[in-house]
Amino acid sequence: MAIFRARRVLWRSFSTISSHPLRVCIVGSGPAGFYTAEKILKTHQGSQVDIIDRLPTPYGLVRSGVAPDHPETKNVINQFSRVAQNGRCSFFGNVALGSSISLVELQELYHVVVLAYGAESDRLVGIPGEDLKGVHSAREFVWWYNGHPDGRNLDPDLKNTDTAVILGQGNVALDVARILLRPTSELAITDIASHALTALEQSSIRKVYLVGRRGPVQAACTAKELREVLGIKDLYIHIKETDLKITPADEEEMKNSRIHRRIYELLSKAATAGPSQPSSGQRELHFVFFRQPDRFLESYDKKGYVSGVHLEKTGLKGIGSGKQIAIGTGQFENLSCGIVLKSIGYKSVPVDDLPFDNQKGVVPNVKGRVLSDNSGDPTSFENGLYVCGWLKRGPTGIIATNLYCAEETVASLSEDLELGVLASTTRLPKLGRDGLLQILDNRNVRVVPFSAWERIDKEEKRLGSLRNKPREKLTSREELLKVAGSE
Amino acid sequence: MSMLEAAHENVIELEGACEGSLACSTCHVRVMDMEYYNKLEDPVDEENDMLDLAFGLTETSRLGCQIVASPELDGICLAIPAASRNFSVDGPGYSPSFQCLFLSETAPAIADGTMKEFGG
């Protein structure tokens, strides 16, 4: 047992290699990117860290994923802002890995490259009808209501139907349900994108189904979000009491997981709490368990449009280590709807020259050190290349999960520096920031530095104040770059 | 003043991503003494919801932003998780090591503490 001062011990020995500073480029400015930057700046006192993002705006999913009615969750932006304002850190927006600058070029410009660009694609259900109009991924829908420039043209049709089906019961699924069902007067004072608020105000959706393959004990959401959706004003909640029956295997799962125990309790209470029928005109939220989608049904009247989901009843089967999976029973039923939102998981996108595990949807790595290929050979690493966040672990967890993820990746990096693993690159100076900006300038890439983001931030807040919103997001690249560029 | 605020005032590294608004679990602390844990008011639902998500949760875990300094908490020892290299991405392998803080006299002055290793 050792006695330490309750203060940080700084690792100074290898932060300045020879006489030149450690230059690091982080690709992606969400929580993974910023926690990594913060950790590197603290641990390596001479280091210079540049964070690039393909969007003109920073913060990744904190800006484009966290729901508009969850402003406190976004407070972490203040911490990330302070990191960006550190003299040894620079943010460069509107710089895309691949089209603006290649991975190989970054590796030439920097001693270390950390990829933290998350997961911008979707797991597919992989069933017939997935291409029908009206079937959207929850990710796109969230981008749409959060004003992401790539989501503004989604134009979901909320007027052709009174029923929406959401596949999945995780927190993203609950967010989507809540945004569809909350009184729009409550949404009007959030930073929700205006085009989405307008569409929701005109929406005819009154019934939302949250469909899960397994039971209430396995639901992937967490208590805060569930409590919130169950507490929506004047909302009829329906949960089938027979779905709440638990087996010994379920009891075992709950014994080992506080989260699942509390979720089950909340769902049980909600099943019996309210009236057994909705009142006239009341909005409805239905939790559907033990159903997996078999195919999407096409409308007879409107060819090419979805009109429902063909669902198969499931049972649970134990597969060892306390886990249970859903197995089809061969019994089917239909659930009619005019819009489907698939919320079954995000997926990362590979880039050129980067090893990628297509099955897991991540960059193969060991504790954040990128492996040279998928062969599983744990001794062959890509020199100076690291990964953090969803790209490393898969698309799970909360903002804070990236805190620990960054700790691990930076520990690997620090160890590599200490052991001389990176000596072949670190004994040479690298151009870093200056080199990057020169290349981008030659290519006419309009870089958005942090000070330019601050202009965007100020303008969004100003526009928001005119409408009693914390901010009015600028949702097109053109608008963002215009404001970024103005003095 | 909450323990989170006290930590920051004393340059102790306790994360506080949501700045004390019960929207995260990064200020998770363990109360080392059951006697002190029992002196605290029970956590409200919202705090329990966040504790669900905390790493290395124990029977005496609380959120640092919800523990308010008072004379009767004089001498309380809070263990702060210092994220360790034993972090296992698969979950159950996580073995956080903790740093202990002692509150002296009139909280929230924080004195030096003892580094201990706690198993996962």
Q: Is B17 on the interface with A (CB under 8 A)?
A: yes
Interface touch B49/A2, C-beta < 8 Å: no
Interface touch B52/A2, C-beta < 8 Å: no
How many C-beta atoms surround the C-beta of residue A468 within 10 A? 8
* C-alpha to C-alpha distance for A19 and A15, rounded to whole angstroms: 10
Cβ contacts of residue A188 below 8 Å, gap of 6+? A197, A467, A468, A469
Residues of A in contact with B115 (CB under 8 A): 1-4
Residue-wise pLDDT for A134-171, tens only, equals: 999 999 999 999 999 999 999 999 999 999 999 999 99
Sheet holding A163-167, edge to edge: A135-137, A339-342, A163-167, A207-211, A283-288, A235-239
Using a 10 angstrom Cβ sphere, with 0-12 exposed, 13-18 middle and 19 or more buried, the burial of residue A287 is buried
* The predicted structure's pLDDT at residue B103: 55
Distance from CA of B11 to the nearest CA of A (A): 7
Residue-wise pLDDT for B98-115, tens only, equals: 455 555 444 343 444 433
Distance from CA of A114 to the nearest CA of B (A): 18
Q: Is B11 on the interface with A (CB under 8 A)?
A: yes
**CA distance to A294, A347, A430, A450, A473, per residue, from A483 (Å):** 47, 32, 33, 13, 12
The 3-class SS string of B3-62 reads: HHHHHHHCCCCCCCCCCCCCCCCCCEEEECCHHHHHHCCCCCHHHHHHHCCCCCCCCCEE
Q: Is B90 on the interface with A (CB under 8 A)?
A: no
* The predicted structure's pLDDT at residue B85: 33
Query: What percent of chain A is predicted at pLDDT more than 90?
Result: 88
Indicate the SS3 state at residue A264: helix
* C-alpha to C-alpha distance for A339 and A299, rounded to whole angstroms: 11
Instruction: Tell which wins on pLDDT, A377 or B4.
Output: B4
Residues of A in contact with B19 (CB under 8 A): 72, 75, 78
ipTM, two decimals? 0.86
The binding site of A for NADP(+) consists of: 169-172, 213-214, 225, 397
* CB nearest B55 (choices: A6, A73, A404): A404
* C-alpha to C-alpha distance for A434 and A419, rounded to whole angstroms: 28
Residue-wise pLDDT for B27-56, tens only, equals: 999 998 899 999 999 999 999 999 999 988
* C-alpha to C-alpha distance for A472 and B71, rounded to whole angstroms: 45
Of B120, B97, B110, residue with least CA distance to B8: B110
For A342, list phi and psi in degrees, rounded to 5. -90, 115
* The predicted structure's pLDDT at residue B102: 57
* The predicted structure's pLDDT at residue B52: 93
* CB nearest B17 (choices: A2, A76, A224): A76
Residues of A in contact with B83 (CB under 8 A): 403-404, 407-408
Residues A307-324 have a mean pLDDT of 95
* C-alpha to C-alpha distance for A323 and A149, rounded to whole angstroms: 39
| Per-residue pLDDT band at A7 (split at 50, 70, 90) | very low
Q: Is B55 on the interface with A (CB under 8 A)?
A: yes
| Per-residue pLDDT band at A480 (split at 50, 70, 90) | very high
How many C-beta atoms surround the C-beta of residue A279 within 10 A? 8
Interface touch A6/B101, C-beta < 8 Å: yes
CB pairs under 8 A between A and B: 96
Distance from CA of B75 to the nearest CA of A (A): 16
Residues of B in contact with A8 (CB under 8 A): 13
Tokens describing residue A430: 């690298």
Tokens describing residue A84: 């960006």
Of A307, A397, A409, A399, residue with least CA distance to A365: A409
Residue-wise pLDDT for A331-374, tens only, equals: 999 999 999 999 999 999 999 889 999 988 999 999 999 998 76
Interface touch B89/A405, C-beta < 8 Å: yes
Tokens describing residue A252: 């075992």
| Per-residue pLDDT band at A423 (split at 50, 70, 90) | confident
* The predicted structure's pLDDT at residue A178: 98
Q: Is A398 on the interface with B (CB under 8 A)?
A: yes
Q: Is B104 on the interface with A (CB under 8 A)?
A: no
- Report whether A266 contacts A230 (CB < 8 A): yes
* CB nearest B83 (choices: A7, A76, A404): A404
* The predicted structure's pLDDT at residue B117: 31
